[in-house]
Amino acid sequence: MTAMVGPGCVRHPDRETGVRCTRCERPACPACLREASVGYQCVDCVAEDARLRAGTRSRLRSGTVPWAAPTGRSVVIPILIAINVAVFVVTVVQAGSLSNNADAPLFGQWALQPAAVAQGAWWQLLTAGFLHIGPLHIAFNMIALWVIGRDLERVLGRVRFLVVYLVSLLGGSLVVFLFANPMSNTAGASGAVFGLMGGLAVVLMRLRLSPRPALTIIALNVIISFAIPNISILGHLGGLAFGAALTAAMVYAPTRR
């Protein structure tokens, strides 16, 4: 008889396994694991998460979550995506190039340059968030906006979601303005998207759901921001901080009785 050298599955102790549930970290065999948004979770955690989510949906629909303003179909996100795409098309037409659209005159007026803002071009703090350099840049940000923002808009409501988005965008721009090279140029909705990531993590914690998937996405994107050149880590971290802080203020604020 061969002795087991690895831990046994929590549900089948006689089955050796080298894999653990990413949520509870208990060892589990392949038959007891289910693919999750991040890694694999054991069937017990999957069932518990489904129970919690069902209870949360019921509470949101019944109006017993005082800070929530649940809404149905997403409206704000498609509008934001349409605006970003329209601006991108304008820059492509102006530059006469899909990949080199940063040559468009609109970039000179709208991209965030701290020195220009200091001289009065304050609108760049906002407009830079609607510019994107090349198709991959806008595709990545718009997909992230759609994937991350849908649940947040449905829970917070359209108005508060839009406020979180814009404050995250402006917060990221403000951090760039204060701490980046005065002659640098920054563009993109990434600061706002990072703010939504932070807001989603806060909402999950407030609903007593696991924030681990959101936190993992945040960690991976922060690592990417540091690892790849020409990415505005200041804008990302600024947006993340402002978005998380504002969402926390919304969902943890005392409610009227």
* Residue type for position 149: G
Q: Which two tokens stand for residue 74?
A: 């997403």
Across the range 37-58, mean pLDDT stands at: 70
Q: Kindly state whether residues 59 and 90 are assigned to the same domain.
A: no
4, pLDDT greater than 90: no
**Which of 182, 183, 188 lies closest to 168 in space, CA to CA?**
188
User: Rounded CA gap, 239 and 198, in Å?
Assistant: 9
Confidence (pLDDT) at 52: 58
Question: By the 8 A CB rule, do 212 and 38 touch?
Answer: yes
pLDDT of residue 101: 96
DSSP structural state of residue 31: G
CB 36 within 8 A of CB 22: yes
Secondary structure (3-state) at 33: strand
Residues 6+ apart with CB under 8 A from 254: none
**Taking the C-alpha atoms of 181, 182, 186 and 192 in order, what is their torsion angle to the nearest 10 degrees?**
90
Residue 232's pLDDT is: 93
User: How many domains is the chain partitioned into structurally?
Assistant: 2
Tell me, what's the pLDDT at 66? 54
Residue 6: pLDDT band (50, 70, 90) is low
Confidence of residue 3 (pLDDT cuts 50, 70, 90): very low
- 3-state secondary structure at position 29: coil
Angstrom distance (rounded) from CA 118 to CA 177: 8
> pLDDT digit string (tens) for 200-252?
999 999 888 878 888 988 999 999 988 888 899 999 999 999 999 999 999 99
The residue ranking higher by pLDDT, 34 or 164, is 164
Q: What is the CATH number of the domain that holds 228?
A: 1.20.1540.10
Q: Which of 87-91, 142-146, 169-173, 213-217 has the lowest mean pLDDT?
A: 213-217
Of 48, 64, 80, which residue sits at a domain end?
64
Q: Are 109 and 196 found together in one domain?
A: yes
What residues have CB less than 8 Å from 115, skipping those under 6 apart? 182, 183
Quote the pTM value: 0.77
What whole-number distance in Å separates Cα of residue 15 and Cα of residue 115?
A: 64
Residue 2 domain flag: no
Q: Among positive and negative, which fits the CA dihedral 211, 165, 190, 242?
A: negative
Does residue 112 lie in a domain region? yes
Give dist(CA 230, CA 144) in Å, integer: 19
User: Using CB atoms within 10 A of its CB, is residue 38 exposed (0-12), middle (13-18) or buried (19+)?
Assistant: middle
Q: Which domain holds residue 53?
A: 12-64
Q: Which residues are catalytic?
A: 190, 236
Q: Are residues 53 and 98 in the same domain?
A: no
Q: Judge residue 198's burial from the number of C-beta atoms within 10 Å of its C-beta, 0-12 exposed, 13-18 middle, 19 or more buried.
A: buried
Dump the DSSP string for 82-93.
HHHHHHHHHHHH
Task: Tell me what pLDDT residue 76 has.
Answer: 96
pLDDT classification of 23: cutoffs 50, 70, 90: confident
In a domain, 115, yes or no: yes
Residues 18 and 136 placed together within one structural domain of the fold:
no
Mean pLDDT of the chain: 88
User: Who has greater pLDDT, 12 or 235?
Assistant: 235
135 in the same domain as 40: no
Residue 7 lies in a domain: no
Please check whether residues 88 and 212 belong to one and the same domain.
Answer: yes
